[in-house]
Structure 1
Amino acid sequence: MCRIAAYAGPSIPLENIIVRPKHSLLEQSQHATEAKLAVNGDGFGIAWYDRDETPGLYRDVLPAWADGNLTSLCRMVRSRLFIAHVRASTVGETSRQNCHPFSYRRWSFCHNGQIPHFAAIERKLEADLPDHLYSARQGSTDSEMIFLTLLANGLDDDPERAMAATLAKIGSGPDPVKITCTFSDGATLYGFRHASRGTAPTLYASGSLDNGGKAFASEPLDGGSWAAIPANKIISLGINQTA
């Protein structure tokens, strides 16, 4: 299973979430404690927002701990909202196009989980995409298809309705569908967990951090106040949200 960390609030260096905490995302890439696999070494990526509506995106196939540029980038780049991801692949080869986060216009998205029956529904999901989203597909993962299907189902206008419509299209199979994701339009950060059966992959929301911001993470980054977000409910964090 992959690991996710995301932040919304006053602008901070990316390293404050990705590198510096005791159980940072970088630490989780090798020593995850709440996943089937402790090591998440099939690539990583970061999407961050600054002045432009469209997020910056940095992705690579290297394990996060093996990229010598990552800690320097995270030290120098500041952002008010960002999403980061380390990958343990289930669907799709290890390639830059299959590394998360995915982005389209103002939206960014990353995912932990899988659609076990994806091969049986992939062509139908792809055929249902409007032309502009069909052309935007770059990789072969179920995760990117979830993102594009959310966009096709009206993510711009109503995230909750888009998620419900997307889950309905995915349906169920002999093995449980598991979707934990974070996504953003640059103004609001969203977190969501779902499992068609059993328990959804973990995602926690922090309390107010020392600078007033808040974070989502697959596993708590430190010993502060973290609470598991409820399943089947989209939780939102705004840049200026303090409660």
Structure 2
Amino acid sequence: MLAKVSIFPTSIQEEMLLSPYSMQYLSKHGRLPEDPETHGEHNDGCGIAFVKNNQLEIHRRDKDHSWDYTFRLIVENAKSNLFIAHNRKAYKDLTINEKRSHPFLYQTFAFCHNGGVYSFMDEALDHGITDTEIFFKELLDKAENKSSQGIFNSLNNIANTTDYSSLTGFLMNNQELFAWRIYNTKNKERAQRFEDYYTLWLKNNKGSVVIASEPLDNGNWEKLPNFSFIHLKPTPDRIDQFRKHITITR
């Protein structure tokens, strides 16, 4: 996963195509959930969302067309101050097609997610959708006023009432980005593997902030701790960052 917030509209070519460990590179060489020390394909689909003319624009591809010429052309030409992007590695038995590729659109938000929400998996399988889509709808439907605090409270509730490997995700509208890292620590045997795999790394650049599931280069990246919640909002002269901590009470 990748997110970028900038003061002014900018390209995302560097992060998506040109960096040593770009999103295109990671679609073939990303860490694998079974063993984060190994690397392999995350090419069950791909997608990107960004703001254009004050509206969310989303482009997705299925497994057979992942990172095809038309998708790369969109990446090369897109300019925005808010982006999210995703390479999909599908959970077993879930449907693989363009509609199931991330990011998803619901109401006025786009969303992508890394992990499995086991509490939603049976419903997802029954309806031929993904656990992420159910998670997304649940998150927004119970977020009071769709405000930053409402989204935080809704996410905090889901983290305390569902069973999951990871809820780690990006949520954006046409004005702001929310990012969080949440993986399950209850199973001590899995906790270290989840710590190594379900990561988010943040890099502050001049005029922009980039968050990615793996560092895209050998620069100075901050590894966000588990249960981190960040709200990023660009203004004409800065990017406001608000950080909170998800509290697990069960």
* TM-score between the two structures when normalised by the length of structure 1: 0.81
For 1:39 and 1:222, how far apart are their aligned partners in 2? 19
For 2:32 and 2:220, how far apart are their aligned partners in 1? 17
Query: 2:120 touches 2:135 (CA, 8 Å); kept in 1?
Result: no
Matched, 1:14 2:12: yes
Query: 1:213 touches 1:242 (CA, 8 Å); kept in 2?
Result: no
For 1:74 and 1:184, how far apart are their aligned partners in 2? 18
Q: 1:46 to 1:12 in 2, by over 3 A?
A: same
For 1:63 and 1:203, how far apart are their aligned partners in 2? 27
For 1:193 and 1:34, how far apart are their aligned partners in 2? 17
Show CA shifts across 1:209-235 (max 9, x none).
2x4101110101112221111211211
For 1:84 and 1:93, how far apart are their aligned partners in 2? 20
Per-residue deviation, 1:242: 6.4
Query: 2:203 touches 2:222 (CA, 8 Å); kept in 1?
Result: yes
Match 2:215 to one of 211, 220, 235: 220
Moved more, 195-204 or 58-67: 58-67
Counterpart in the other structure of 1:105? 107
Query: 1:190 touches 1:235 (CA, 8 Å); kept in 2?
Result: yes
Show CA shifts across 1:161-214 (max 9, x none).
010122234x23xxx53221011122221111112222351111112x2x4101
Counterpart in the other structure of 1:61? 62
Cα-Cα RMSD: 2.4
Give 2:176's aligned amino acid: T
Higher strand share: 2
Q: 1:69 to 1:111 in 2, by over 3 A?
A: same
Q: 1:19 to 1:182 in 2, by over 3 A?
A: same
Matched, 1:236 2:236: no
For 1:63 and 1:218, how far apart are their aligned partners in 2? 23
Give 2:200's aligned amino acid: L
Matched, 1:159 2:160: no
Give 2:170's aligned amino acid: T
Higher helix share: 2
Per-residue deviation, 1:34: 6.5
Q: Which runs of 5+ in 1 are unaligned?
A: 127-137
Q: 1:45 to 1:65 in 2, by over 3 A?
A: closer
For 2:86 and 2:12, how far apart are their aligned partners in 1? 13
Identity of aligned residues (%): 24
Q: State the 4+ residue runs in structure 1 displaced beyond 6 angstroms.
A: none
Moved more, 216-225 or 111-120: 111-120
Query: 1:45 touches 1:99 (CA, 8 Å); kept in 2?
Result: yes
- How many residues matched? 219
Mapping 1:188-199, distance limit 5 Å:
188-197=176-185, 198=191, 199=194
Counterpart in the other structure of 2:244? none
Per-residue deviation, 1:70: 2.1
Per-residue deviation, 1:153: 1.1
* TM-score between the two structures when normalised by the length of structure 2: 0.79
For 2:43 and 2:60, how far apart are their aligned partners in 1? 13
Query: 1:42 touches 1:87 (CA, 8 Å); kept in 2?
Result: yes
Show CA shifts across 1:128-147 (max 9, x none).
xxxxxxxxxx9610011110
Matched, 1:185 2:173: yes
Q: Which runs of 5+ in 2 are unaligned?
A: 186-190, 242-250
For 2:181 and 2:128, how far apart are their aligned partners in 1? 23
Show CA shifts across 1:37-65 (max 9, x none).
5210100011111222x410101103676
For 1:182 and 1:104, how far apart are their aligned partners in 2? 13
Mapping 1:122-141, distance limit 5 Å:
122=123, 140-141=129-130
For 1:139 and 1:213, how far apart are their aligned partners in 2? 38
